[in-house]
Amino acid sequence: MDPMTIGLVALVVVLVLLAMRVPIAFTLAAVASVGTFLVYATRTGGWMPERALNPTSSVVFANFFDLVHSYDLSMVPLFVALGNIAFYAGITTRIYDAAAVWLRPLPGGVAMASVMGCGGFSAISGSSIACASTMGRICVPEMMRMGYDPRLATASVAVGGTLGSLIPPSVLFILYGIFTETSIAQLFLAGILPGLLSLAGMLLVIAWWVGRDPAAAPKAARDGASRTEAAIAAWPAVLLFVVIVGGIYGGIFTATEAAAVCVVLTTLIGVVQRRLTFAHFIMAIRESLTQTAAIFLIAGAAKIFVSFVALTGIAGAVVGMVEDAQLSFLTLMLVLVLIYLVLGMFLDPIGIMVLTLPFMVPLIEGYGLNLIWFGVIVVKLLEIGLITPPVGLNVFVVGNVTRDVGIGQIFSGVSRFLFVDLLVLVLLILFPIISTLIPGSM
């Protein structure tokens, strides 16, 4: 059996196992290890397993070791800890509190505040799932009490939660940067304008929805809280975002250093404001360790899988086929978008990324396209996948924390936002300057 056949069979097995909900880390590591063993065992034309054990173990352990000891990967536990500590310190939700005070009197104002709160949460936590889970517990019950349409109440949080993929810091950008060997700092900066553009599109959808159906969002009376006080109370979240983005853009910090500085700042702010107790701090660290371990296992398994794909030669064959087909830029992008959208209907974002990057990166480089720009396109597509049926993770997360609303209703509400998301995607493809403007000006 030639290496390419082994590789193709392995890809099919991976997709089947992932569809069966086998954990992605175990799937990638097991299939890649077995596939690598088979490639070495059949390399001479016969079956010689005794010659395959040493090179297979060397490939598996060396790749996992190199990945875990990567300097760039050290920012993952820092940003994860930052998000958890900020949550327990009450920092991540204050942008929502401020936006709710300012926007409450407007039609659909609380739904808009929910989206903006998700954007603020994302700017600290870097996790779409964590954002949807936390904000779903806070925003949806309030909107339901006010008489909001359940579809609008839940969809605004599910869609707003996807901003964690684009607005820095983003775990997906970190993993993309590691696997493509591109600058994570530039990826963070490249996601700012697309993230803000997506946020603006979500707010427009809410305004359009409420304009067509005023009963979907009953107008709320002002709650009496001071707008100035609410805005001032959000200063810790604004400060952290400025330190991360401003520090990276100004060349003061690397992304890892910015994460470390913000972890210290967040802890100090929480202690000084007496919102972060020692018990809360320990809980935040415990949750951070659990989440980091899961990400490290996935990243290590993905590194082994990438090495296996390179060993089989499938990536080179795919690039050669596409180059021979002489696809135009728009045709190529249309094919790639369709692939990611279809995969997004069934797989989680990290799984899609590690499965596709070994093939996509050589292809993009062969066309002479910018990998930073392509990273934004990939993350935007993964963001869309978080809210597309049948496996929209953000939809199910919001459904789990708000059990009074059915999954079908949430998907129905989310469908109204998908057109704007696709429009933003088209703009990002046609006008790369949206993604490259800020990192290009460093």
Dihedral (CA of 433, 435, 438, 442) sign:
negative
Q: Give the pLDDT score at 430.
A: 93
Q: What tens-digit pLDDT sequence spans the chain (442 residues)?
A: 688 888 889 888 988 888 787 888 888 889 999 999 988 888 777 777 778 888 888 888 888 888 777 777 888 888 888 888 988 888 877 777 788 788 777 888 888 888 888 887 777 776 777 778 778 888 888 888 888 888 998 899 889 888 878 888 888 898 899 888 898 889 999 999 999 999 999 999 999 999 888 888 887 666 555 677 777 877 888 888 888 888 888 888 888 888 899 999 999 999 998 888 999 999 999 988 988 888 888 888 888 888 888 888 887 787 778 777 788 888 989 989 998 888 888 777 887 888 888 888 888 888 889 999 999 999 999 988 888 887 778 888 888 877 778 888 888 888 899 989 999 999 999 999 999 999 988 6
Q: Give the pLDDT score at 221.
A: 60
Q: Give the pLDDT score at 222.
A: 60
Q: Give the pLDDT score at 223.
A: 58
Q: How far apart are CA 348 and CA 136, in angstroms?
A: 20
Q: Give the pLDDT score at 314.
A: 80
What Cα–Cα distance (Å) separates residue 13 from each residue in 10, 22, 27, 59?
5, 11, 9, 20
Q: Give the pLDDT score at 376.
A: 95
Q: Give the pLDDT score at 432.
A: 93
Task: List the one residue out of 296, 380, 346 whose CA is nearest residue 29.
Answer: 296
Secondary structure of 16-71 as H, E, C letters: HHHHCCCCHHHHHHHHHHHHHHHHHHCCCCCCCHHHCHHHHHHHHHHHHHHHHCCC
Q: Give the pLDDT score at 307.
A: 86
Q: Give the pLDDT score at 187.
A: 93
Half-sphere exposure of 367 (CA within 13 A, CB side): 21
By the 8 A CB rule, do 375 and 187 touch?
A: yes
Q: Give the pLDDT score at 380.
A: 93
Q: How far apart are CA 205 and CA 31, in angstroms?
A: 43
Q: Give the pLDDT score at 39.
A: 87
pTM of the full structure: 0.85
